Amino acid sequence: MVEVTVTPQSSLADRPVQIRVRGLSASQLVTLRAWLKDEQGECFQSRAFFRADGAGEVNPGLQAALGGSYSGVWPMGLFWFLQPDSLFRRLVKRDVAGSPFRVRLEVLDGLSLGTDAKEQLLASCEAERWYVGPGVQRAPVREGRVRGALFLPP
């Protein structure tokens, strides 16, 4: 049984996570895809192609992506290379304190470019990426022409 995990499952957006896929066949080609919907419902996604090691595992922190949204060893590449499905969109988090981005991670059999309706989903999981830690207070700043927010630690 194929399993994909993200550790920790819930974390601050600037903290690294570890992605692991287990239960594959030795040397199996797979596509790891990450996607999320922003607060306006726009979809952002990235994908990377990997060949499982001899134990049937994929670890993007140690293994090089063979292609897709990026190539090479990028432990956080699936998060850093998220691109919009529509042109001229940016990934922006407006409600930084109220909710996280929920990033869906999927493992697909073979090399998937997202154009085939018959993609075979092998496993999936979800990661929460928060922009404000627990107990942090947000204070609006309005001084002259300066506008902003001050985030105060607990």
Q: Tens digit of pLDDT for each residue in 42-98?
A: 999 999 999 999 999 999 999 999 999 999 999 999 999 999 999 999 999 988 888
Rounded CA-CA distance 141/136 in Å is 16
The pLDDT value recorded for residue 114 is: 73
Place of tokens 């922009």: 131
Mapped onto helix, strand or coil, the DSSP state of residue 21 is strand
Q: Containing domain of residue 18, as a range?
A: 3-152
Mean pLDDT (the chain) is 94
The pLDDT value recorded for residue 115 is: 61
The pLDDT value recorded for residue 113 is: 84
Total domains, the chain: 1
Q: Long-range pairs for 141-144 at CB < 8 Å and ≥24 separation?
A: none
Q: What is the rounded average pLDDT of the residues 21-48?
A: 96
The pLDDT value recorded for residue 116 is: 64
Q: What is the rounded average pLDDT of the residues 12-25?
A: 97
Minimum mean pLDDT range among 17-21, 104-108, 114-118: 114-118
Q: What is the CATH number for 44?
A: 2.60.40.2240
Peptide bond connecting 8 to the previous residue in cis, omega within 30 degrees of 0 = yes
